[in-house]
Structure 1
Amino acid sequence: MTDFTAEKAISRAYMADFDQAAPSDRLDRLEAHTSPDFHWRGVHPFNRQPSAGAAMQAFWAPLLNAFSSLQRREDIFFAGLNEIDGFTATWTCSMGHFMGLFDAPWLGIPPTGKMAFLRYAEFHRIENGKIAETALFCDVLSVMAQAGVDPLPPQTGAAFIVPGPMTNDGLLLSSSSPDEGKTTLALVNRMANSISKANEVLQGKSKTYLTPQQEMSENWHDDMIWYGPHGIGATYTIDRYITQHQAPFRTQLADRIFNGHVARFAEGKYCGFFGWPNLTVTPIGGYLGLPATGKPADMRVVDIYRRDGDKLAENWVIIDMLHFLKMQGLDVLERLNAGVR
Structure 2
Amino acid sequence: MSIINQFYQALQSGNNLEAVAQAAMQMHVSYPIEDIHGLDAVQTDYWQVLNTAMPDIERKAYIEFSSEYQGHDWIAATGYFVGTFTHDLLGIKPTQKSLYLRFTELVQLEQGKVANYYIILDFIDVMNQAGVNPLRKSLGHDGLIMPPSTMDGLYPAQESAAQAKESEQLVMAMLDELGRFDGQSLQSMHLDKFWRPDFMWYGPAGIGTTRGIEGFRRDHQGPFVFSFPDRVVDHKATVVKRGNYVSTGGWPHMHGSHLVGGWLGFPPCGKNLELRVIDIWRRQDSLLVENWVGIDIIHMCKQMGLDVFAMMQDTFYVK
Q: Is the contact between residue 18 and residue 29 of structure 1 (CA under 8 Å) also seen in structure 2? A: no
2:20 aligned residue (1, 14, 33): 33
Aligned counterparts of 2:76 and 2:23: Cα–Cα separation in 1? 21
1:222 aligned residue (180, 197, 203): 197
Partner SS, residue 275 of structure 1: strand
Write the letter of the residue equivalent to 1:315: N
Matched, 1:309 2:282: no
- Cα deviation per residue 1:256-282 (whole Å; 9 max; x = unaligned)? 233444411211000002111112223
TM-score, structure 2 length as denominator?
A: 0.92
1:64 Cα deviation from its structure 2 partner: 0.3
1:160-309 matches, within 5 Å, as: 160-172=143-155, 176-198=159-181, 201-202=182-183, 211-212=187-188, 215-283=190-258, 284-309=260-285
1:337 Cα deviation from its structure 2 partner: 4.2
Q: Is the contact between residue 200 and residue 211 of structure 2 (CA under 8 Å) also seen in structure 1? A: yes
Q: Is the contact between residue 226 and residue 241 of structure 1 (CA under 8 Å) also seen in structure 2? A: yes
Write the letter of the residue equivalent to 1:153: R
Q: CA 1:339 to 1:156, structure 2 compared with 1: closer, same or farther past 3 Å?
A: closer
Q: CA 1:104 to 1:263, structure 2 compared with 1: closer, same or farther past 3 Å?
A: same
1:14 Cα deviation from its structure 2 partner: 4.2
Q: Is the contact between residue 157 and residue 243 of structure 2 (CA under 8 Å) also seen in structure 1? A: no
- Cα deviation per residue 1:231-250 (whole Å; 9 max; x = unaligned)? 10000011111111111111
Q: CA 1:22 to 1:75, structure 2 compared with 1: closer, same or farther past 3 Å?
A: closer
**Residue in structure 1 matched with residue 91 of structure 2 by the alignment:** 108
**Residue in structure 1 matched with residue 73 of structure 2 by the alignment:** 90
1:324 aligned residue (287, 296, 300): 300
Aligned counterparts of 2:311 and 2:271: Cα–Cα separation in 1? 20
**Residue in structure 2 matched with residue 6 of structure 1 by the alignment:** none
Q: Is the contact between residue 154 and residue 289 of structure 1 (CA under 8 Å) also seen in structure 2? A: no
- Cα deviation per residue 1:302-339 (whole Å; 9 max; x = unaligned)? 10000000010000001001110000000112333456
Aligned counterparts of 1:229 and 1:183: Cα–Cα separation in 2? 27
**Residue in structure 2 matched with residue 74 of structure 1 by the alignment:** 61
Write the letter of the residue equivalent to 1:69: D
Partner SS, residue 126 of structure 1: strand
Aligned counterparts of 2:159 and 2:72: Cα–Cα separation in 1? 18
Q: Is the contact between residue 156 and residue 242 of structure 2 (CA under 8 Å) also seen in structure 1? A: no
Count of residues in Structure 1 that have an aligned counterpart in Structure 2: 316
Partner SS, residue 61 of structure 1: helix
Q: Is the contact between residue 14 and residue 29 of structure 1 (CA under 8 Å) also seen in structure 2? A: no
Aligned counterparts of 1:22 and 1:30: Cα–Cα separation in 2? 6
Aligned counterparts of 1:211 and 1:140: Cα–Cα separation in 2? 33
Write the letter of the residue equivalent to 2:49: P
Aligned counterparts of 1:65 and 1:301: Cα–Cα separation in 2? 27
**Residue in structure 1 matched with residue 51 of structure 2 by the alignment:** 64
Q: CA 1:220 to 1:132, structure 2 compared with 1: closer, same or farther past 3 Å?
A: same
Write the letter of the residue equivalent to 1:263: T
Q: Is the contact between residue 58 and residue 81 of structure 2 (CA under 8 Å) also seen in structure 1? A: yes
1:22 Cα deviation from its structure 2 partner: 7.8
Q: CA 1:35 to 1:215, structure 2 compared with 1: closer, same or farther past 3 Å?
A: same
1:39-50 matches, within 5 Å, as: 39-50=26-37
Q: CA 1:303 to 1:22, structure 2 compared with 1: closer, same or farther past 3 Å?
A: closer
Write the letter of the residue equivalent to 2:244: K
Q: Is the contact between residue 24 and residue 39 of structure 2 (CA under 8 Å) also seen in structure 1? A: no
RMSD between aligned alpha carbons? 2.1
**Residue in structure 1 matched with residue 138 of structure 2 by the alignment:** 155
1:288 Cα deviation from its structure 2 partner: 0.4
TM-score, structure 1 length as denominator?
A: 0.87
Matched, 1:119 2:75: no
Aligned counterparts of 1:121 and 1:32: Cα–Cα separation in 2? 24
Consecutive unaligned residues of structure 2, counting only runs of 5 or more, are: none
Write the letter of the residue equivalent to 2:216: Y
Q: Is the contact between residue 260 and residue 277 of structure 1 (CA under 8 Å) also seen in structure 2? A: no
Partner SS, residue 216 of structure 2: helix
1:95 Cα deviation from its structure 2 partner: 1.2
Q: CA 1:13 to 1:90, structure 2 compared with 1: closer, same or farther past 3 Å?
A: closer
Aligned counterparts of 2:311 and 2:136: Cα–Cα separation in 1? 15
Partner SS, residue 69 of structure 1: coil
